[in-house]
Structure 1
Amino acid sequence: MYEPIRTKSVHTMADATDADFPHRSREEELDIQLAGHLAALLTVTDELRALAPSADLDTAAERLAGQVTRLRGGVPPTRATATTRGARVTALHRRAHALAGRALVVAASRADTAAAILSAERMDAHSAALVDPREPITAG
């Protein structure tokens, strides 16, 4: 009525293969995630630089590239060229603000002060760019 199991348990097989599988620490995973967020922010920053050049964006792009290079162990990021001709600058600032926020969360969770400060500065800069300075309505 009962036939014994002839194959190894799934749990036993998993334990045996764990030695062959490379594992990353939580810090390494967070480094990878943070580098990805900062690289995405760098891409949007490069697009903004092409559409609305400014010294602030140039400085931010270089700082972002430096952080991505550091997090990737010396491998510099691939830089974007302007391909979004019809992209609105406001939409790019919103996207950059969101990406900087994600990078800030990851940087804070891994206690990376330099990346957290840079992300917070970029959030502030993109928030300021999103504010629509309207002229006061004058009677007349």
Structure 2
Amino acid sequence: MYEPVRTTSVHAHGPHRSRQEELEIRLAGHFTALLTVTDELRVLTPSAELDDAAARLAVRVERLQGHSPVRAVPTTGAATPARITALHQRAHMLAGQALVVATQRGDVAGAALASERMHAHAGFLFP
């Protein structure tokens, strides 16, 4: 009725990562993206709070990846209210994604940092 499979699956070869490793990679990606948006906000609306947040995010990414994060050069342009709001919305979303992954991974420190950043950006969006 059915012919047996005669070749091995293309998916059966190569190194496999554990669920924990996959979550670690995803969390580092979310924190790196959040760091990029935070750097952009730092250029447009300089503040000590954003400087501190960027430093803590960079340390967190370094712990997850084992090396300093690659940091993008912030774009130049006008600090319009619409642009700043859009960046805060993006940061809020990224912090939420990081919170979900950190929670799945059981990373208490990562979850706390993500939650704090989410709250900070929500404070701007919903005063």
The alignment's TM-score, normalised by the length of structure 1, stands at 0.80
| Structure with the larger helix share | 2
Check if 1:69 corresponds to 2:66. no
Moved over 3 A (4+): none
Structure 1's unaligned 5+ residue stretches are 133-140
Check if 1:101 corresponds to 2:93. no
Check if 1:122 corresponds to 2:122. no
Give the count of matched residue pairs: 122
The root-mean-square deviation of aligned C-alpha atoms, in Å, is 2.0
Shift of residue 8, structure 1, vs aligned partner: 6.3
Structure 2's unaligned 5+ residue stretches are none
Shift of residue 65, structure 1, vs aligned partner: 0.5
Report the 3-state secondary structure (helix = DSSP H, G, I; strand = E; otherwise coil) of the residue aligned with 2:9. Answer: helix
Check if 1:82 corresponds to 2:77. no
Higher RCO by CA contacts (8 Å cutoff, separation 6 or greater): 2
Identity %: 58
The alignment's TM-score, normalised by the length of structure 2, stands at 0.88
